[in-house]
């Protein structure tokens, strides 16, 4: 999800340079509605998880007859689909595996942009089009919640007893345990923020996290199992987003919601919230950042366990005080 969000400046640059081109984006099926209706995307091609789904999509890609395919992901499935497309121009990065899938390989973003500070993932994504000679003048991600998701999300919040005008949002999950601040501390933080601000705190969870939903509810209302469109509508109306480094954190930044991002194994320099008021919370241990798949520190996940509730609370309160509420921004 985060990669797709941070790809949007590259899509906008392509649209500006090639206004009459038809731009397709391949996304995992569960994320397809993230970019449906996006201003620079003509069609989203959903990719299922099964082998038949991949074969079917490869056949469709080849049938469309693309002039060019740009692989923003770099993994084995995306490399195979790039090669299978049969496009005469197949673009990847020069450090991607499966180099033979590409006939144009782009260098590091620092080289492409001639800027040693171009180290964020948004630079990575944009450099793939800049390397083709496409001007990239705006690196702000662009997202907009689907209009049809807003009213149902407002009703759902009402069912949870939450006003849709001024609430705080937590996202306590992430792709790896090495990126997940303990749920117990999120609950303590929620209690403290409710007491200090008088605002409700909503917890957003994937549909598979039933035990975690029971842990937070009923003390903190839980919005569970949302589609990408519903999640955008929920985030868009929040006054503050607090969460681990994850895809929804980048969605929040792209929607203009101030973010407190909690970092464990991942690198804040490459993945911090982009283009929005934010605070990054990281322990800064010598062993991090790391690959995140397992922990080599004898004090397991010390990068997260050394982050006290008070530190995140102070950052959240500071950010809230420096920004107007969502309701105030709408009125303004």
Q: Which two tokens stand for residue 80?
A: 């195979």
Contact between 85 and 234 under an 8 Å Cβ cutoff? The reply is: no
pLDDT above 90 as % of the chain: 86
Distance CA 71, CA 58 (A): 14
pLDDT over threshold 60, residue 331: no
pLDDT value for 165: 76
* Bridge-based pairing state of the strands 201-205 and 168-171: parallel
Q: Cβ of 223: how many Cβ atoms within 10 Å?
A: 20
Mean pLDDT of 232-238: 95
Residue range 263-296, pLDDT digits in tens = 999 999 999 999 999 999 999 999 989 888 888 8
pLDDT over threshold 70, residue 332: no
Residue range 141-150, pLDDT digits in tens = 999 999 999 9
Mean pLDDT of 304-332: 84
Instruction: Name 330's Cβ contacts closer than 8 Å, sequence gap at least 6.
Output: none
Distance CA 161, CA 146 (A): 23
pLDDT over threshold 90, residue 245: yes
End-to-end CA distance of the chain: 30
pLDDT value for 10: 97
Q: Is the dihedral of CA 227, 229, 230, 236 positive or negative?
A: positive
Least confident interval from 17-21, 121-125, 246-250, 323-327:
323-327
Mean pLDDT of 11-23: 97
Residue range 155-167, pLDDT digits in tens = 999 999 998 778 9
Report whether the peptide linkage leading into residue 218 is cis, meaning its omega lies within 30 degrees of zero.
yes
> CA nearest 41: which of 8, 64, 17?
8
pLDDT value for 206: 87
Tell me the domains of the chain and their CATH numbers: 2-130 (3.40.50.2000), 150-331 (3.40.50.2000)
pLDDT value for 54: 94
pLDDT over threshold 80, residue 253: yes
Instruction: Name 35's Cβ contacts closer than 8 Å, sequence gap at least 6.
Output: 4, 8, 25, 27, 41, 44
Q: 323 vs 290, which has greater pLDDT?
A: 290
Residue range 86-125, pLDDT digits in tens = 999 999 999 999 999 999 999 999 999 999 999 999 999 9
Mean pLDDT of 35-56: 94
State the chain's mean pLDDT as an integer: 93
């Amino acid at each position: 999800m985060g990669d797709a969000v941070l790809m949007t400046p590259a899509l906008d640059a392509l649209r500006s340079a090639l206004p009459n081109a038809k731009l397709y984006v391949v996304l995992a099926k569960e994320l397809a509605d993230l970019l449906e209706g996006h201003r620079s995307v003509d069609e989203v091609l959903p990719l299922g998880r099964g082998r038949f789904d991949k074969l079917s999509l490869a056949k469709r890609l080849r049938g469309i007859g693309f002039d060019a395919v740009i692989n923003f992901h770099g993994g084995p499935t995306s490399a195979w689909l790039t090669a299978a497309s049969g496009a005469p121009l197949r673009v990847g990065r020069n450090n991607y595996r499966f180099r033979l899938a590409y006939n144009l390989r782009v260098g590091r973003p620092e080289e492409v942009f001639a800027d040693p500070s171009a180290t964020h993932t948004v630079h990575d994504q944009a450099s793939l089009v800049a390397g083709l000679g496409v001007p990239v003048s705006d690196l702000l991600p662009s997202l907009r919640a689907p209009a049809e998701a807003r009213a149902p999300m407002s009703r759902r919040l009402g069912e949870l007893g939450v006003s849709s005008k001024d609430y705080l949002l937590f996202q306590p999950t992430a792709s790896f345990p090495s990126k997940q601040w303990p749920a117990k501390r999120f609950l303590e933080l929620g209690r403290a923020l409710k007491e200090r601000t008088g605002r409700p705190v909503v917890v957003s969870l994937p549909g598979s996290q039933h035990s975690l939903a029971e842990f937070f509810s009923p003390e903190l209302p839980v919005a569970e199992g949302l589609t990408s469109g519903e999640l955008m509508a929920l985030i868009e109306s929040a006054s503050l987003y607090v969460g681990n480094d994850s895809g929804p954190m980048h969605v929040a930044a792209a929607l203009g919601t101030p973010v407190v991002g909690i970092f464990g194994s991942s690198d804040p320099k490459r993945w911090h919230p982009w283009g929005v008021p934010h605070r990054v919370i990281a322990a800064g241990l010598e062993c991090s950042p790391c690959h995140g798949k397992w922990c080599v520190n004898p004090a397991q996940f010390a990068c997260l366990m050394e982050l006290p509730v008070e530190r995140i609370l102070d950052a959240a309160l500071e950010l809230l005080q420096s920004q107007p509420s969502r309701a105030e921004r709408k009125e303004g």
